[in-house]
Structure 1
């Protein structure tokens, strides 16, 4: 996995490089100290994963994420920050980030996160996913026009998407629908592909914005 490290703190970049270099399956292809340099490096190197800081001079991490995934859609961005703030979370996810981690994350968790994102999974803590769902559920109710893309889904895929919107894991969805977890994983991949979404969190947002799940409906989150 080819990784680009983006942070305006040289000491932090060195620490991240040391952690990533401890795993033979990870190659740090380059570093960047601000958002503009990050976008340039993504254009040039097309890394698999970008570890992106949020607060940087000039172009911040959120705008840099938006530009990076535009020029290199296959590149996955993981936001790495000290700030667990709603505006950072939603700004990053809206920009196209596939993960959101705090800088206090352990080295083992960081490496696991990079591998998960590189494999196409989204990476968010349950608390962050819950905040996304809670925010969508608080949207004012009104007339919602169903998104045409919903017509591309089979009835079972729609059921899976509805359960995703409740914040359930693959194992929990399998239990609710009485099917194998491997089958759920296949359905999730097909849902994301058909709806042209990057990850599960975008699927949650889509379910609310498309009208499949209405604001105020029980999200299943406790």
Structure 2
């Protein structure tokens, strides 16, 4: 991934994985609208995607879920194990608890629906490239409901007890509402850099690696 002097990506490479040709063509056209994104390959199944990644490198894989040979969940799990530097952004027509939970547990960095606007898809790709975890608003709401309605589990004991500032609690609350960095910055009237700083501190305090895990910990631990 090419970066500028401030560490921001100037060029992000993407592989599209979907079994429908017209969907791959549409996504390629959408991504082509951004000068920062380059599509470097396509695959029509999870198995084909893994074979393709043996021959090319990419920053992000745009992953469908229901495919022949190997579905997107199984492919995501194998992909993040084999290529931990590659991020997976799910884009699917399925908004269900089982798909969402399985995709995130498999290691997906974000979850979008296929009827998202081209600009939303492009922004999500760029957000993932910078370490973000974009979730479609419908998906974010589903995740919040799923966690809040779940029965207490034994692993809840592993959630750290941490002291939070009032501003950190506000940032956490906005994160759990599905807001991205820019949206949180607008709510708080601060810069995106400030929001990223708060999120980095929160991830360190909760001992998690990404924003999805941070949201899960915040909800399970009833911090919001």
Tell me if both proteins adopt one fold, taking TM over 0.5 as the criterion: yes
Matched, 1:122 2:130: no
Query: Which of residues 90, 97, 110 in structure 2 aligns to 1:99?
Result: 110
Q: State the alpha-carbon separation in 2 of the partners of residues 31 and 86 from structure 1.
A: 27
Gaps of 5+ in 1: none
Q: State the alpha-carbon separation in 2 of the partners of residues 199 and 107 from structure 1.
A: 25
Q: Is the 8 A contact 1:161 1:207 kept in 2?
A: no
Structure-1 residue corresponding to 2:148: 137
> CA offsets, 1:77-117, max 9 Å, x none?
11111222221111111111112111112222211121111
> Aligned ranges for residues 41-60 of structure 1 at < 5 Å?
41-60=52-71
Structure-1 residue corresponding to 2:168: 160
Which deviates more from structure 2 when the two are superposed, residues 162-171 or residues 56-65?
A: 162-171
Query: Which of residues 66, 70, 82 in structure 1 aligns to 2:77?
Result: 66
Cα 1:158–1:138 change in 2 (3 A) is farther
**What is the TM-score of this pair, normalised by structure 2?**
0.77
Across the two proteins, how many residue pairs are aligned to each other?
207
Shift of 1:184: 3.9
Cα 1:105–1:184 change in 2 (3 A) is closer
Cα 1:141–1:46 change in 2 (3 A) is same
Secondary structure at the aligned position of 1:3 is classed as strand
Q: State the alpha-carbon separation in 1 of the partners of residues 126 and 186 from structure 2.
A: 23
Q: State the alpha-carbon separation in 2 of the partners of residues 78 and 142 from structure 1.
A: 28
Alignment root-mean-square deviation, CA: 3.1
Structure-1 residue corresponding to 2:50: 39
Q: State the alpha-carbon separation in 2 of the partners of residues 140 and 14 from structure 1.
A: 43
Shift of 1:173: 8.5
Q: State the alpha-carbon separation in 1 of the partners of residues 85 and 167 from structure 2.
A: 28
**What is the TM-score of this pair, normalised by structure 1?**
0.77
Gaps of 5+ in 2: 1-11
Cα 1:180–1:113 change in 2 (3 A) is closer
